[in-house]
Structure 1
């Protein structure tokens, strides 16, 4: 359940980043994009930790999940 929640949050972070990039404003979006990038990294780290604890972590699984996550966007 936690893995699904984290995957959903990572998708939402990526969607928000895309919206910010695709809709330029007079406000500098870089600080927000950087914060979202850091949050996405933290989510990835937590996801990897949970997968390791569950005994399903390896680099191939992580790569496949990462690709699937960003293909859904």
Structure 2
């Protein structure tokens, strides 16, 4: 979000949501994509996060990534 998002568009603010329900932690972040990225986007950060989640939580998590034309959303659910 901070690296690749367009955080200056007041009509499309970045959003972070954190919810604890029924022994599950649900984290969601969404943002408008920056039209021209200042950094190369290779997806290594997401692969690294996935690897760390798998090492720590094994089968007790799910990560849904929605990479659309103008917006990026990630939903992470962890069973506690």
Higher share in helix: 1
Q: TM-score, normalised by structure 1?
A: 0.40
- TM-score w.r.t. structure 2 length? 0.37
Q: Which has the higher contact order (CA 8 A, sep 6+)?
A: 1
